[in-house]
Copies of this chain bind each other. A is one copy, B any other.
Amino acid sequence: MAGVAPSTVSFVLNGKGKQMRIRDEVARKIMQVVEKSGYEPHRMAVNLRTGQSKTLGLIVESISGSFFASLAKTIETEAERRGYNVVYCSTENNAQKGGELIRMLGRQMVDGYLITPAPGMEKEIQQLLQQHKPVVLMDSYFPAIKTPYVLINNFDGVQQGMEHLIKKGLTKIAFVTVDVKLIQLEERLRGYVTTLKDHRIPLKKKHVLHLKYHKQREDSLNELQEFIEKNPEIDAVFFATNYLGILGLEVIARLGLKMPQDLSVICFDDHDIFRLYPPGISVIEQPIEGIAKAAIDLLMHQLDKNNGPIKKPAIQLPGRFILRGSA
């Protein structure tokens, strides 16, 4: 349409006009035609030729979870700013599905991976690295896997909450967590234990509850209820995840306890419910935007092949303690 060869158009559109010394006059003519005709390069053809899909794979546990939803949102925005698209996949807490997903994305030729690793995905991630695919982990990581990761400083987050409780004079603080072997949870427990020790408050084993991950919701509720009933001296509870916190709210309502008079409550990881549930549940808020942005940055750094090695492959961002009515 512009009366020139396809290659000439390609040069101009890809900003190589100067380098290929295309006359400004011709370049203008091309741009004009492009504008008027609304021409858009065929994505697949570009991908095939360049070997880059300009697409990132985001693998999360569950899209419908609020933490992951927010994460996805920010990542999408950030990726778009840099000219990348995102395809999401959720593992739905199913390790086997995680593997399939990664292979599916591989088939799809994504340029890089952003993964919130679930237990059991370790091997698949290791494979990706062997294929020299750029990977950034979020929210958690595997100590054995040497790839960049970004997460909240779990230890510090718990400490902030614990310090608040202790400052209020509470000392019989329970800690409710899950028996999954995840770095985050271990760190959160470490925060609990360490803060107590720092304040010379004796750590009581019976004040720490490890709920079974694979149990039914109802079973967990009962176990939690029993835990609180059997330890009436407890004046505060720290829930290690928002799922646990929500269970907690239900149990506390069942027992007719008033927050914070009968029991102070702090939960790790915010949730819509915690803002609205009277009297408002105090939480450690994850710096989701920060995590997303840092993760994208790390991934982009790997995608730019001319870049050197990453200077900071492990990023821990501080969480924010949000004081509401419950503590």
Contacts and interface: CB of A to CB of B under 8 A. Distances in A.
A109 B246 contact: no
Copies of this protein in the assembly total 2
Interface string A96-129: 0000000010111100000000000000000000
A64 B53 contact: no
A98 to B, nearest CB: 14
A45 B43 contact: no
Given A253-B278, A273-B276, A87 B90 contact: no
A13 interface: no
Interface residues of A, number: 40
Interface string A133-170: 00000000000000000000000000000000000000
A69 B64 CA distance: 5
A44 B48 contact: yes
6 closest A-B pairs by CB: A64-B69, A44-B47, A44-B48, A40-B107, A44-B44, A43-B109
A233 interface: no
Contacts of A35: none
Contacts of A104: 80, 85
A246 B45 contact: no
From A62, A271, A276, name the one whose CB has the most chain B CB atoms within 10 angstroms.
A276
Nearest to A271: B272
Given A63-B63, A250-B276, 9 more contacts: A44-B48, A44-B109, A63-B73, A64-B73, A80-B104, A85-B104, A86-B88, A87-B87, A246-B276
Contacts of A76: 63, 88-90
